[in-house]
Chain A
Amino acid sequence: MNLPIPFIVGLAILSLAGVGFYCLLATRNLIKVIVGLQLIVKGVMLTFVLAGNLNDQVSLAQSMALTVIVADTIVAVVGLALAVQIRHKLGTLDTKALSSLKR
């Protein structure tokens, strides 16, 4: 395989983002939504480090990726807490049941 390495990494990033978006698109379970978000954010992290590598600024990219990890972990924490509470209150994790907008 003579493909350049950034190309392969790019493929990995795109596949993570794609699968993450598919998960957000095609699921109705609230916890799966958080799984999808996590996948997308991993793709973002890889993008940062790849870009840093190509620009010879790996340390800067690492600090940004660190911020992203922290933010993403917080999102997962709060999201899961919300999911637990919704399960308590509504009895289901179905995203369609969450929406109380008039139709």
Chain B
Amino acid sequence: MWYVIVAAGILLCAILAVTSKRLLVSAIWLAVTSALTALMLYLLGAPQIAVIELSVGAGLVTVLFVFAINISGEEPLNLKPIMPRPLAWGLVVVAVGMTAYLLINSGILGSALVTSTTRPSILWEDRYLDIILQVSFIFCGVLGVLGVLSGGKPEIKEEDEE
């Protein structure tokens, strides 16, 4: 029962996030979608991930979005997409429909859920490669942001000197 509500909520909030005209409103709806996804993760029996997703998705990423939108200035661009919207929706619906058809036919989605106890030690002991991977991701991300941000500095300096 809960699942249906959460799933419907996810669909609704995602559509609202995408179709809203103002960027800040999109970011807020994205945060709500993250929260609902976190709820669904919790219901599926993965509470640690749910908590992390809630704080990162609904917290960190939303703050980032708000920050970026404020810096870059909010202009309500009413740009027309490259193809008419009904065509885009149609294409997406067809693709999703085919995937759903194949998934249902393969019978994976028929079995019942399993509830088991989670062992957090798996992440830290058996998957040390994952940890190394994540650390390198964060490192690269920091380097990337520094690189991107430093690329703009000299131009601003020149404008100041003129």
Contacts and interface: CB of A to CB of B under 8 A. Distances in A.
A101 interface: no
B30 A18 contact: no
Given A15-B14, A35-B30, A39-B33, A62 B49 contact: yes
B52 A66 contact: yes
A54 B44 CA distance: 10
A98 interface: no
Given A4-B111, A23-B18, A32-B23, A85 B61 contact: no
Contacts, number: 244
Interface residues of B, number: 87
A72 B151 CA distance: 23
10 contacts: A14-B96, A21-B92, A39-B18, A45-B41, A52-B46, A54-B114, A73-B56, A77-B144, A84-B72, A96-B79
Interface of A: 1, 3-12, 14-23, 25-29, 31-32, 34-36, 38-39, 42, 45-46, 49-50, 52-54, 56, 58-67, 69-71, 73-74, 76-78, 80-85, 87-89, 93-94, 96
